[in-house]
Amino acid sequence: MKKILLTLFVALLSLGVQAQTLKWVDASTLNIIGQAEPTGKPYDRINTQEHTMPENTIAYCGFSTGLAVVFTTDSHIITARWTTSQSMPGVNMSAITQKGLDLYIREGEEWVYAGVARPTITAEARDKHEYTIINNAPDGKKECLLYLPIWDRVESLEIGVEQGSTIAAMENPFRHKIVVHGSSITHGASSSRSGMTYPAIMERRTGLYMINLGYSGMSTLQEEFAHYLAQVESADAFVFDTFSNPSAEVIEERFDKFVDIIREKHPTTPLIFTQTIHRETRNYNLKTEEFEANKQANIRSFYKYEYNHRSTVSRLIHEKFSTELGLTNGRLEHKRWNAFMRSEGYRFSGSIEKSSRNDLAKLHNNLVPCEGLKDKHVIEMDE
């Protein structure tokens, strides 16, 4: 018994020493990534004071889904201390997914899993948490990516590192801006950790900056979401998992207007709609099978609509520039092609001879004005 008490005393003493030797940094003073736009609150996805959202989604707007803290540190210890709501973990989701933190450290070009911060869940308290994510880490500066809970609010977050070590905000390590809006599939319901939602996995594997606006069970092509997405600036693409929750009738009723609202502000930004998954619950349920099959069939209307819209936009752009610049179609297309090739890194090869073209070196013989082309196909197109 004395041996057990002595062991327990030593363990508690070591924890006390560690707590005294840590310095705590407010995570909001570092770099928080993952918001489609600034919200005024570091750990909220959408500011519902500024944007009207569907009533049943307001709580989810305050979730920290998809948000992460990026920072560098040379500490051997990384500890987190954070506050959430008092909500209980769901029956289909672990406490780590709902309220925990998920840390990755960059090794070369790869983000390597480092550990989780487990939340404290008791009958009396489920809102205050503290956990050491890594201990005895190797020497040297580490680039850290700490994902926040996907199914709860974060009221406060501090990161603890060793006294004498450094910790600093890091620039967003991801490029472009891809906004993903959808159902529980996007939100990450039932994923094992907050870094295991598919937008987070794609982000780490591709280097693309993914914004997670998943709303489990509530993504039904609402106008409020369309208006919010329309005003998001500098989005390079939108990805939609919006056929999973609504019925075929709701898709038919809302789809065109949903797209129109976004297209008005983003006329050329790619809108990528994914088909809903095959749900196993339909295998032996005829009613569910009919419900799912009908809404999957409705995606055909999207392709028809979007094809016609893109064709119309392309035609109008050509007409506008043809009129304003006095260019005929062939010359305009050659200028467009020149601009595209140069944006891809190509340069003029120095000669209009085809033999001088080198795609490996990104050198092209036709990157010249129309008049300088050896092949007069552009002028012939005009005629």
Q: What is the pLDDT of residues 50-99, one digit of tens each?
A: 999 999 999 999 999 999 999 999 999 999 999 999 998 888 888 999 99
Amino acid at 298: N
Query: Helices 223-230 and 248-265, interaxial angle, to 10°?
Result: 20
pLDDT tens digits, one per residue of 162-181:
999 999 999 999 999 999 99
DSSP letter, residue 372: G
Task: State the amino acid at position 53 in one-letter form.
Answer: M
For residue 166, the model assigns a pLDDT of: 97
**Does residue 138 contact residue 73 with C-beta atoms inside 8 Å?**
no
Any idea where the domains of the chain sit in the sequence?
Answer: 23-173, 327-382
Give the span between the Cα atoms of 363 and 296, in whole angstroms.
45
In tens, the pLDDT along 227-245 reads 999 999 999 999 999 988 9
95-107 tens-digit pLDDT: 999 999 999 999 9
Contact 187, 220 (CB under 8 A): no
Instruction: Provide the 8-state DSSP code for 158.
Output: E
In the DSSP assignment, the letter for residue 216 is T
Question: Could you tell me the CATH superfamily of domain 23-173?
Answer: Galactose-binding domain-like (2.60.120.260)
φ and ψ of 23, to 5 deg: -110, 140
Residue in the block written with tokens 């500098």: 234
Closest CA to 310 of 272, 253, 255: 272
pTM beyond 0.85, yes or no: no
Higher pLDDT, 164 or 343: 164
Alpha-carbon distance 348 to 149, whole Å? 50
**For a pLDDT cut of 90, what percent of the chain falls above it?**
57
**What percentage of the chain's residues is helix, strand, coil (to nearest 5)?**
40, 20, 40
What distance in Å separates the CA atoms of residue 366 and residue 141, rounded to the nearest whole number? Answer: 48
> What would the two tokens of residue 47 be?
């500011």
CB 279 within 8 A of CB 292: yes
Which of 142-151, 258-267, 332-341 has maximum average pLDDT?
142-151
Indicate if the pLDDT at residue 350 is higher than 60.
yes
Q: Residue 197 has which token pair?
A: 């939602």
